[in-house]
Amino acid sequence: MKRIWIVLGLLVVGIYAKAQTKNFIDQPYVEVNGTADSLVTPNEIFIRFTINEKDTKNKVSLEDQEKALFQALQQLGIDAAKNLTVNDMASNFQYYFLRGKDVVKSRNYLLKVTTAMEAGNVFVTLEQLGIANAGIDHVDHSGLESIRNAMRTKAVQNAHQRAIALTAPLHQSPGPAIYIGDEERYVQPYDNRAPRMMLANVMEKTTDSQPEISFEKIKVSANIMVRFVLNK
């Protein structure tokens, strides 16, 4: 008897699910894609560089170069404790042998600044300190997720407007949405190679003490597919 009730229950669930699917398919609907995009100026610029004792012919220790760097960043108004991180995999010194007899230390860093002007000041300072191995690692925006959500909202609104434009000539109108699909799009303006090339070109062309660095804006796009019930 218990098995019979289980079988009957499964049949009822199956029939209900089939009915729901059938109701969805049988409803006339209009399917449209809505889009929206925006260009955002990066407010997180990450500069990578290496302090290497070899650059000073082993005359200045890595520790002394670090102290000079921290003081210089402080003069620029940059909080090194907050924005400067060690970029080594083990967060430790890298040791290697120079010509088979001298041990030289080096360390990789990642510094975050918020504007192109700050980035330019940092590159000038690094050059003055004799730190030559520097470049842009990547750029980002702190409010990117909020901007993405705003673009999603605009894309849905755009989809509704398109649905109205498609149905109006037929003397019909879009009703409630029965399906919404989000196809996220995010374009990072720079990979790990392009920023260094751009910076090198700027450094070669400029004659001022501070390089004029500008960053391509981040393009944030949304593409939303919506199905609206088709009202007669």
The domain made up of 26-42+142-232 has a fold known as Translation Initiation Factor IF3 (3.30.110)
pLDDT for 203: 47
Question: Phi then psi for 113, rounded to 5 degrees?
Answer: -125, 170
Hey, where are the domains in the chain? 26-42+142-232, 44-140
- Assign a CATH topology to domain 44-140: Alpha-Beta Plaits (3.30.70)
pLDDT of residue 206: 46
Task: Specify the pTM.
Answer: 0.69
- Which pLDDT score is estimated for 22? 47
Q: Give, to the nearest 10 degrees, the angle between helix 62-75 and helix 116-128.
A: 140
94 with 107: CB under 8 angstroms?
A: yes
H-assigned helices in the chain: 2-26, 62-75, 80-83, 116-128, 144-167, 194-205
How far apart are the C-alpha atoms of 225 and 210, rounded to whole Å? 47
Res 224: pLDDT: 96
Residues 6 or more apart whose Cβ sits within 8 Å of residue 36: 151, 152, 154, 155, 158, 221, 222
- CA atoms of 75 and 97, how far apart (whole Å): 34
- pLDDT on residue 194: 45
> 175 near 28, Cβ under 8 Å?
no
Query: How many helices (H) and strands (E) in the chain?
Result: 6, 8
Q: What is the pLDDT along the chain (232 residues), one digit of tens a residue?
A: 555 545 445 554 455 555 444 455 578 999 999 999 999 999 999 999 988 877 666 677 888 888 999 999 999 999 999 999 987 644 454 544 444 445 557 788 999 999 999 999 999 999 999 887 899 999 999 999 999 999 999 999 999 999 999 999 999 999 999 999 998 765 555 554 444 434 444 444 444 555 556 788 899 999 999 999 999 8
